[in-house]
Amino acid sequence: MAKVYVTENNDRIHGIMAEFAGPADLYHACEKVRDAGYSKWDSFTPFPIHGMEEAMGIKRTILPVIVAVVGFTGVGLGYLLQWWVSNSGYQFVTQGKPYGGLVNGGWQVFVPITFEIGILFSAFASIIGMLALNGLPRWNHPLFKKERFLASSDDKFFISIEAGDAKFDPDATRALLEKAGATSIELVEE
């Protein structure tokens, strides 16, 4: 369990926020934070920076696997539902094809619905999976209380290291960020 840090006012510390002069400085700082072994941290930029995922050590997400599994499950369930309905109670000849699906060679009739159910399941899996893996929705974040951080969507570059990280120590983390070239470092309270 991570140690709980508090300020002099007995406010709980969320982490440390550091500002960097430009994208190159931020990129190299991210490499240093990654190499130091921190795991609960993030970078904030006003625009995408090429190669930032590698600099931060971000691994590929499992979301494509989740979407594929749920999508193929939807395809299977869509086909199974049509096959069951076609064979149990609504035995209609559709498009001149015999009912029964694969058994009687009439599988072509099932393709549009099977495809659409697969797409529907994949879309829901991607949205729900993305929200779950990103820890969203989060209605408020402690960084939003910092006036300086609001410029991260305009022209500033930041790294935030959370106090919940196993390697977090306020003094050692501040020293690492200073060594990495931070122009400003602030504690972030909950």
Q: What are the structural domain ranges in the chain?
A: 13-60+138-189, 68-133
Report whether pLDDT(1) > 80.
Answer: no
The rounded mean pLDDT for the chain is: 91
Q: What percent of the chain has pLDDT over 90?
A: 74
Most confidently modeled of 10-19, 97-106, 118-127?
118-127
pLDDT at 19 over 60: yes
Q: How far apart are CA 179 and CA 159, in angstroms?
A: 13
Over residues 78-95, the pLDDT tens digits come to 999 888 887 777 777 766
Residue 103 has pLDDT above 70, yes or no: no
| 40-44, 57-61, 70-74, 102-106, range with the lowest pLDDT | 102-106
112 CB burial (10 A radius; 0-12, 13-18, 19+): exposed
Residues in the chain: 190
Structure tokens at 168: 């977090």
pLDDT of residue 104: 67
Segment 106-113 shows an average pLDDT of: 84
| Alpha-carbon distances of 133 from 57, 86, 166, 176, rounded to whole Å | 17, 39, 21, 29
pLDDT score recorded for residue 101: 62
pLDDT number for residue 96: 72
The three state secondary structure string of the chain is: CCCCCECCCCCEEEEEEEEECCHHHHHHHHHHHHHHCCCCEEEECCCCCCCHHHHHCCCCCCHHHHHHHHHHHHHHHHHHHHHHHHHHCCCCCECCECCCCCCCCCHHHHHHHHHHHHHHHHHHHHHHHHHHHCCCCCCCCHHHHCCHHHHHHCCCEEEEEECCCCCCCHHHHHHHHHHCCCCEEEEEEC
Q: Is the pLDDT of residue 68 over 60?
A: yes
Q: What is the pLDDT of residue 4?
A: 83
pLDDT value of position 92: 73
Q: Which of 162, 189, 164, 183 shows the shortest CA–CA distance to 33?
A: 162
Q: How many CB atoms lie within 10 A of CB 40?
A: 15
pLDDT score of 10 more than 70: yes
